[in-house]
A and B are shown apart, each in its own frame.
Chain A
Amino acid sequence: MALFALRRLLLSIPLLIGITFVSYVVISLAPGGPLDFLTPEDPNASPEVKERLVKEFGLDRPIHVQYWHWLKRAVRLDFGRSFLPDGRPVLSKIGERLPVTLFLNIIELAIIVGLAVPIGVLSATRQHSLYDKITTVFVFVGFATPDFWLALLLMILFGVQLGWLPISGLRSLNWEYLTFWQQQWDFFSHLVLPIVVATFGGLAGFSRYMRQSMLEVVRQDYVQTARAKGLTERVVISKHALRNALLPVVTILALALPGLIGGSVIIESIFAIPGMGQLMVQSVFSRDYPVVMGNLVIVASLTLVANLVADITYGLVDPRIRFGGRRGRRSRRPGGRGAGRCASSGARSPTTSSRCAGARWSASSCSWPCSRPRWLRGTPTGPTPATSSTRRRAATGSAPIPSGGTCSPGCSTARGSRSRWASCRSASRPRSGCCWGRRPATTAGWWTTW
């Protein structure tokens, strides 16, 4: 794992350089330059001033030279100073905007996840019910509602008509004169509208995602088996199905990382919140190259890190990926054949795999795939994994599904009690593990660009 992470990190470096280079070229090619905004269309702005500034900013050199100079400083984390008349260092400009955006987005994301999971699960388990239909409508309304429009409506209602909430900004202008608790309340009341608006759209998409993922999982054989064993529906859903359905959430969470930094231009502009989104847009409009590039490096690095984190955490929660490499190598050896076979049916049921490898999720039904009736084992249900569509590529690349299969001894004997399960775990991990297929083609391959 460490090696994998290291390799990925090293590979990120040329990628990052590529991203910044392309960005630098593109922003330089955009019509107009920083000087058109510093020295506007104005007869009193002398061309001599422009030339002077062009020299000072180094814009008279060819683009690749400019980029090289930028890169040399950037590797020392020196992003230079803004071209704007305030001439402040890029990092301090970003630094003062980052906390606000980060704070807002983390709260927003937490609320989205907290609400979307139950909404999605409920509407999946009650598919076609009235509740499901209502949430479906809600979701499409959420998708279709433009942020700014909703924001304005809420501002008119709560800010102007009812006067309950402040319209814009993060603090009242008399903030310094408030007591501590008044300040908290003041801050909170300023946050309500932006967070509600930002959450609404995200909630819609995310809950839909959750629903889809859950729907796929509850159709899996192992869920059926869990039911067949007589487990209550609640246990089946919350213990067996939900944990698997949540796997894509991990991906989404990790991939939301760059979004946390990027901020939302529309929300920030409408609510007059001085965050990163605004900074980025303003710097693009004023062709403030150093700030644009500084921002870009941060967001691009975070995207790359987020991808890596997504893959690693995915491996952590989904052992098929974590142990895939080892298992794969083994199964290709003659001795590993049996285990590989067993895994083949299990490959489609991560619950099983995690049960065997992680041993934390649901010990009581550890090795059911191995003990399935032969007819069931023999009929693969298709290559769709228990995960949602984003992971589909991973899984389709993962394991061919041989029919039939035998169980690894360690696992099949582990059925039943906890103590025996423990032995299953200890036996399965080093030796073969009952429930594993071949490693996904490459753990990284499904997502990132290489």
Chain B
Amino acid sequence: MATRRARVRALLVWAAGLGLATACNGPIESRTDESVAAGPPAYGDTFIQASIGDIGGLIPSLTSDQSSHEVGGLIYDGLVKQDKDLNLAPAMAQSWTYSPNCLELTFKLRHDVKWHDDYPFTADDVVFTYEAMINPKTPAPFKEGFLLVKEAKALDPYTVQIRYDKPYARAVETWSSTMLPKHLLQSFADAGTMRESPQNSQPVGTGPYRFQEWKPGEKVVLLANPDYYEGRPYLSRIVYRVIPSQATIFLELKANGVDYVSSLTGIQYKRQTEYPAFRKAYHKFRYPGGDYTFLGFNLKDPRFADPRVRQAFAHAIDKRELIDGVRLGLATEANGPMRPGTWAYTDDVKRYEYDPAKAKALLAEAGWKDRDGDGVVKDRDGKPFTLTIRTNQGNDERKKIAEIVQQRLKEIGIQADIQLIEWAAFIKEFIKPRRFEVVVLGLGTGSDPDQYVVWHSSQRGPDQMNRTGYANEEVDRLLEAGRASCVQKERVHYYRRIQEILAEDLPMIFLFYRDSLPAVAARIHGVNPAPAGILYNFEKWYVPKAQQRYTSG
């Protein structure tokens, strides 16, 4: 599961609203009242998890929603997975090797992996998965990594060789993707009807859990796979309950109706769960997540093309205040787009302390002065500095950020309005055509620091991800170099330099990384918070015999 979750998050999703966070080396905290004397690991019990949305389908490669990938991550496996320190680790592949020129990648597969229907898992399945994914008829949203592959072939039943035209830094990560069963899907993949195949409603995978049933809109039930290659998981039955209301999920939690929620809200974490009965029934965890929230400028707007104006904004905003006001302190300050704690991260970058006087001075330098004493800065022609901060509707945090920023900008003489727009309209009408001045949005970081699509000047088109319109020749070169190498030691330098330049250039103001705040029922043992969060060792979670609550399964 950890692999799959991590992979979803690894995608640079402009997070639409909910925090999809994982972890890093920041403060990791677990709050519990008492630690029950843990009995020895035992099989059995049912684990009930609440999910706000139903799954989209049971072939995760065809879906893009969080729930499908969570459930899919338990049913399927990839060749590699992310370990607790966010590094790639072997899963169905025992090991992998690069050729010296980074163009050939060879996976050695485990010999003891079986599909849930007892077919052996072999190199043919890997090659099939690759072919199915690059098939234009396959409606898979994430196939970019596969399209860069020049050739995938099975050298023997347990060896796969992947060849690339040019080095691709995220090559190994691509193969953490779900592997699909050739013997069940071949004909559907050829016909382009994978969505309609039985596999999409009765999936057969290689993962730790077997599919039991899916009642759309109600629940998904999975059973432990006794033949799992890393040993049978302890928790015997997993139930994903679909509860479309955040408030109801929380009430179910309070009534001990669910065993796990992936993220409490700040107020739930700080106040509403701070009573003895809850602390006895649940363990709460806290670790920095992998998405950052930012204030983005439209660099095509002549006012924001001037770096002094952007720096003035940075000095006008107090990040600490935002974190305390919006997240009740449950976030980590961000100074760049790399996830703190990962190997490419550096905090040795330029910072902008809260200093309204300095902000005003910078604005004045850029030609924006309060010329008639009415508190609003104006340019030489007397045009006041007004703008609209836009963000998507339905995300309370972003709305609050906009309000606080509005107040702070007023202090330096800038008049800001706030506009909240429904997500789809926001993207289509404002973000894509770059019809905005300032936006509050979120962006996810991956396990690999390659952020070519977000910062490279070639990615500024309406359907591309460089939304601010940022262009810097040196960054372009560094991104290209970083992408073309498979040697971590070299890449570190490129990415650290990129962070320095971005902190200097400020195409956006990096605000904070939200903390992940999961809660797990106290009877579940074996939960060890790590940089990758808590779910990376889900198969090893257990309930001691004496505390098992559900006899079924």
Q: Which residues of A line the B interface, CB within 8 A? A: 30-32, 36-49, 52-53, 56, 81, 84-88, 93, 96-97, 148, 152, 155-156, 159-160, 163, 166-170, 173-174, 176-177, 268-272, 274-275, 278-279, 282, 287
Q: Which of B137-145, B346-354, B477-485, B498-506 is near enough to bind chain A? A: B137-145
Tell me the minimal C-beta distance from A91 to chain B in angstroms. 14
Once bound together, how far apart are the Cα atoms of A412 and B395, in whole Å?
A: 73
Question: Is B410 at the interface (CB under 8 A from chain A)?
Answer: no
B451 nearest CB neighbor, chain A only: A43
Tell me the minimal C-beta distance from A12 to chain B in angstroms. 31
A49 and B218 form a contact (CB under 8 A): no
B468-507 interface (Cβ within 8 A of A): none
Question: Is B243 at the interface (CB under 8 A from chain A)?
Answer: yes
Q: Which A-B residue pairs are the 10 nearest by beta carbons?
A: A32-B424, A274-B217, A87-B195, A43-B453, A85-B57, A31-B425, A41-B14, A86-B57, A85-B56, A39-B141
A85 and B245 form a contact (CB under 8 A): no
A38-B139, A42-B12, A168-B252 known; A270-B247 Cβ under 8 A: yes
Question: Is B383 at the interface (CB under 8 A from chain A)?
Answer: no
B139 and A170 form a contact (CB under 8 A): no
Size category of the binding interface on chain B:
35 or more
Question: Is B257 at the interface (CB under 8 A from chain A)?
Answer: yes
Our pick among B14, B16, B251, B454 for the contact of A156 (Cβ within 8 Å) is B251
B464 and A43 form a contact (CB under 8 A): yes
B56 and A86 form a contact (CB under 8 A): yes
A93 and B216 form a contact (CB under 8 A): yes
Chain B residues with Cβ below 8 Å from A45 are 64, 141-142, 144
Chain B residues with Cβ below 8 Å from A278 are 217, 244
Chain A residues with Cβ below 8 Å from B58 are 86
B241 and A169 form a contact (CB under 8 A): yes
Give per-residue flags for B138-154: 1 if the beta carbon is below 8 A from chain A beta carbons, else 0: 01111111010000000
Our pick among A93, A167, A177 for the contact of B257 (Cβ within 8 Å) is A167
Chain B residues with Cβ below 8 Å from A160 are 251, 254-255
Question: Is B419 at the interface (CB under 8 A from chain A)?
Answer: no
Tell me the minimal C-beta distance from A154 to chain B in angstroms. 10
Tell me the minimal C-beta distance from A54 to chain B in angstroms. 11
Our pick among B147, B200, B252 for the contact of A46 (Cβ within 8 Å) is B147
A86 and B215 form a contact (CB under 8 A): no
Give per-residue flags for B242-263: 1 if the beta carbon is below 8 A from chain A beta carbons, else 0: 1111011001101101000000
A32-B428, A85-B56, A169-B218 known; A40-B136 Cβ under 8 A: no
A86 and B64 form a contact (CB under 8 A): no
Once bound together, how far apart are the Cα atoms of A52 and B137, in whole Å?
A: 7
Tell me the minimal C-beta distance from B513 to chain A in angstroms. 19
Chain B residues with Cβ below 8 Å from A155 are 248, 251
Chain B residues with Cβ below 8 Å from A87 are 57, 195-196, 200
Once bound together, how far apart are the Cα atoms of A279 and B16, in whole Å?
A: 21
Chain B residues with Cβ below 8 Å from A271 are 248
A167 and B248 form a contact (CB under 8 A): yes
Once bound together, how far apart are the Cα atoms of A201 and B48, in whole Å?
A: 33
B424 and A31 form a contact (CB under 8 A): yes
B243 and A272 form a contact (CB under 8 A): yes
A45-B141, A45-B142, A274-B216 known; A36-B424 Cβ under 8 A: yes
Chain A residues with Cβ below 8 Å from B252 are 167-168
Chain B residues with Cβ below 8 Å from A43 are 11-12, 144, 453-454, 459, 464-465
A46-B144, A52-B136 known; A41-B550 Cβ under 8 A: no
Chain A residues with Cβ below 8 Å from B217 are 97, 274-275, 278-279
Question: Is B13 at the interface (CB under 8 A from chain A)?
Answer: yes
B143 and A42 form a contact (CB under 8 A): no
B202-255 interface (Cβ within 8 A of A): 215-219, 239, 241-245, 247-248, 251-252, 254-255
Tell me the minimal C-beta distance from A287 to chain B in angstroms. 8
Question: Is B99 at the interface (CB under 8 A from chain A)?
Answer: no
A56 and B251 form a contact (CB under 8 A): no
Once bound together, how far apart are the Cα atoms of A44 and B174, in whole Å?
A: 11
Extra contacts besides A31-B425, A40-B141 (17): CB < 8 Å: A30-B424, A41-B465, A43-B453, A43-B454, A45-B144, A84-B57, A85-B57, A87-B57, A159-B255, A160-B251, A168-B243, A169-B243, A173-B550, A270-B247, A274-B242, A275-B217, A279-B217
Our pick among A49, A166, A272 for the contact of B141 (Cβ within 8 Å) is A49
Chain B residues with Cβ below 8 Å from A93 are 216
Chain A residues with Cβ below 8 Å from B516 are none
B147 and A31 form a contact (CB under 8 A): no
Chain A residues with Cβ below 8 Å from B46 are 173
A-B contact count (CB 8 A): 165
Question: Is B62 at the interface (CB under 8 A from chain A)?
Answer: yes
Question: Is B35 at the interface (CB under 8 A from chain A)?
Answer: no
Our pick among B54, B196, B242 for the contact of A81 (Cβ within 8 Å) is B196
Chain A residues with Cβ below 8 Å from B218 are 169-170, 272, 274
Question: Is B374 at the interface (CB under 8 A from chain A)?
Answer: no
Once bound together, how far apart are the Cα atoms of A433 and B63, in whole Å?
A: 69
Question: Is B547 at the interface (CB under 8 A from chain A)?
Answer: no
Our pick among A36, A38, A84, A272 for the contact of B244 (Cβ within 8 Å) is A272
Once bound together, how far apart are the Cα atoms of A308 and B142, in whole Å?
A: 50
Our pick among B12, B64, B144, B255 for the contact of A163 (Cβ within 8 Å) is B255
B55 nearest CB neighbor, chain A only: A86
A44 and B56 form a contact (CB under 8 A): no
5 A–B contacts from the bound complex (CB under 8 Å): A36-B428, A46-B144, A85-B68, A87-B195, A156-B251
Question: Is B422 at the interface (CB under 8 A from chain A)?
Answer: yes
B200 and A173 form a contact (CB under 8 A): no
Chain A residues with Cβ below 8 Å from B68 are 85
A31 and B429 form a contact (CB under 8 A): yes
B424 nearest CB neighbor, chain A only: A32
Once bound together, how far apart are the Cα atoms of A271 and B14, in whole Å?
A: 30
Question: Is B165 at the interface (CB under 8 A from chain A)?
Answer: no
Once bound together, how far apart are the Cα atoms of A222 and B422, in whole Å?
A: 58
Once bound together, how far apart are the Cα atoms of A173 and B215, in whole Å?
A: 12
Once bound together, how far apart are the Cα atoms of A103 and B17, in whole Å?
A: 34
Chain B residues with Cβ below 8 Å from A148 are 247
B245 and A272 form a contact (CB under 8 A): yes
Chain B residues with Cβ below 8 Å from A53 are 139
B1-56 interface (Cβ within 8 A of A): 11-14, 16, 46, 48, 54, 56
A42 and B11 form a contact (CB under 8 A): yes
Tell me the minimal C-beta distance from A58 to chain B in angstroms. 14
Chain B residues with Cβ below 8 Å from A39 are 64, 141
Our pick among A42, A81, A85 for the contact of B62 (Cβ within 8 Å) is A85
Question: Is B101 at the interface (CB under 8 A from chain A)?
Answer: no
Question: Is B463 at the interface (CB under 8 A from chain A)?
Answer: yes
Question: Is B59 at the interface (CB under 8 A from chain A)?
Answer: yes
Tell me the minimal C-beta distance from A254 to chain B in angstroms. 29
B242 and A272 form a contact (CB under 8 A): yes
In this complex, which of A53, A86, A166 has the most chain B Cβ atoms within 10 angstroms of its Cβ?
Answer: A86
Once bound together, how far apart are the Cα atoms of A329 and B329, in whole Å?
A: 81
Tell me the minimal C-beta distance from B436 to chain A in angstroms. 15
A152-B251, A173-B46 known; A274-B257 Cβ under 8 A: no
Once bound together, how far apart are the Cα atoms of A275 and B11, in whole Å?
A: 33
B248 and A44 form a contact (CB under 8 A): no
Give per-residue flags for B422-435: 1 if the beta carbon is below 8 A from chain A beta carbons, else 0: 11110111000000
A41 and B245 form a contact (CB under 8 A): no
A52 nearest CB neighbor, chain B only: B136
B215 and A44 form a contact (CB under 8 A): no
Our pick among A85, A96, A152, A177 for the contact of B63 (Cβ within 8 Å) is A85
Chain B residues with Cβ below 8 Å from A275 are 217
Once bound together, how far apart are the Cα atoms of A176 and B428, in whole Å?
A: 47
Our pick among B196, B453, B552 for the contact of A177 (Cβ within 8 Å) is B552
Once bound together, how far apart are the Cα atoms of A45 and B243, in whole Å?
A: 28
A92 nearest CB neighbor, chain B only: B216
Question: Is B95 at the interface (CB under 8 A from chain A)?
Answer: no
Question: Is B201 at the interface (CB under 8 A from chain A)?
Answer: yes
In this complex, which of B64, B136, B137, B465 has the most chain A Cβ atoms within 10 angstroms of its Cβ?
Answer: B64
A43 nearest CB neighbor, chain B only: B453
Chain A residues with Cβ below 8 Å from B144 are 43-46
